Amino acid sequence: MQPEGEAVRIPSRSAGIEPRVVAVSGGSSGIGRASAAAFVAAGWKVALGGRRAERVDAAVAELTSGGAEVFGTTLDVCDDASIQSFFDAAEAALGRVTAVVNCAAHARPGPLHQLSPEEIRAEIETGLVGSLLFARAGICRWIERSVSADVVFISSTSAETPWPLHTPYSASKAGVEQAARSLAIELEGTGIRSLVVRVGNTVGTGWIDDWSGPEKMAVVEWQRLGLLRHLGLLRPEQVARAIVWAVSAPRGAQIDHISVHPEAPLDPSSLD
């Protein structure tokens, strides 16, 4: 991990153009880590935070191996003091943040009545409350400085489609989408854009690695119910490219919502 206030530095890829700085929560794994890499590839400076120090260390080491400007430290999006410390250290290392991407989330499948109160709270607090607190920290700075900026909320198909065995997570994502829509109107005329990226079924998020055998059986139930219509799955890198594309839209254009879904695998018989 880079010490607070320090970052690996290289010249801007575009001469005369100051690269933007993006802060990514949940940036040490899954979609967050892929987003950090995609922003680096686009020439941005990246500040990433995550709860597990070893994962943050690994992400920073990987992203800075090519000389990119990346800052990383531990971050708890449910704790405002942790968020403020993260922003202060990130801006000391990289300069003013002008984009926030909310990737931090937590989910563990199971019937609601079998989930512990602690698990239910963790999913809602991380996915919904944490996203609002992390966005708020950026917005406070942008309003004070009168600068144009972007806040991105990562959502899920389960925000729109009933998704059993994922009730707290689905509720958090539905709340995130409504919050983002309300925020977009609230921020009109400030130069700050609020955007939702709704993500379909994705492999490589890292969550399923922590699930028990019975929890993994939820996937079978989702297939039975037709929620997983085919074997196609998104990769975090595909979602990340969509996020960078949306945030890079020219000023004056407001992209409120985009959905990214996996394409069905090609049927070999169709090529005959």
pLDDT confidence tier of residue 216, bands split at 50, 70 and 90: low
Q: What is the pLDDT of residues 226-239, one digit of tens each?
A: 667 766 677 889 99
Interval 247-268 mean pLDDT: 84
Higher pLDDT, 122 or 266: 122
Residue 221: predicted pLDDT:
65
Higher pLDDT, 109 or 185: 185
Say if 228 falls within a structural domain: yes
Q: What is the pLDDT of residues 24-78, one digit of tens each?
A: 999 999 999 999 999 999 999 999 999 999 999 999 999 998 889 999 999 999 9
Say if 104 falls within a structural domain: yes
Residue 235: predicted pLDDT:
87
Answer yes or no: is pLDDT of 93 > 70: yes
43 CB-contact burial (10 Å; exposed 0-12 / middle 13-18 / buried 19+): middle
pLDDT confidence tier of residue 15, bands split at 50, 70 and 90: very low
Phi, psi values for residue 111, rounded to 5°: -60, 145
Say if 143 falls within a structural domain: yes
Is the separation of the CB atoms in 121 and 127 below 8 Å?
no
The residues near 25 (Cβ < 8 Å, ≥ 6 apart) are 32, 49, 50, 75, 77, 100, 101, 102, 103, 104, 130, 131, 134
Mean pLDDT of the chain: 86
Active-site amino acid positions: 155, 169, 173
d(CA 147, CA 150): 10
Residue 230: predicted pLDDT:
67
Say if 234 falls within a structural domain: yes
Higher pLDDT, 201 or 193: 193
Say if 254 falls within a structural domain: yes
Q: What is the pTM of this model?
A: 0.84
**Domain total in the chain:** 1
Range of the domain at 96: 21-260
Say if 272 falls within a structural domain: no
Interval 168-183 mean pLDDT: 96
CATH number at residue 115: 3.40.50.720
d(CA 244, CA 272): 38
Give me the residue label for tokens 């992203």: 63
pLDDT confidence tier of residue 106, bands split at 50, 70 and 90: confident
d(CA 250, CA 217): 44
The residues near 253 (Cβ < 8 Å, ≥ 6 apart) are none
Answer yes or no: is pLDDT of 132 > 60: yes
Interval 108-137 mean pLDDT: 94
Q: What is the pLDDT of residues 66-75, one digit of tens each?
A: 889 999 999 9
Identity (one letter) of the amino acid at 127? G
Residue 268: predicted pLDDT:
56
pLDDT confidence tier of residue 114, bands split at 50, 70 and 90: very high
Higher pLDDT, 161 or 183: 183
Both tokens assigned to 138: 């950026």
Say if 14 falls within a structural domain: no
Say if 94 falls within a structural domain: yes
User: To 10 degrees, what angle do helices 167-186 and 130-145 make?
Assistant: 20
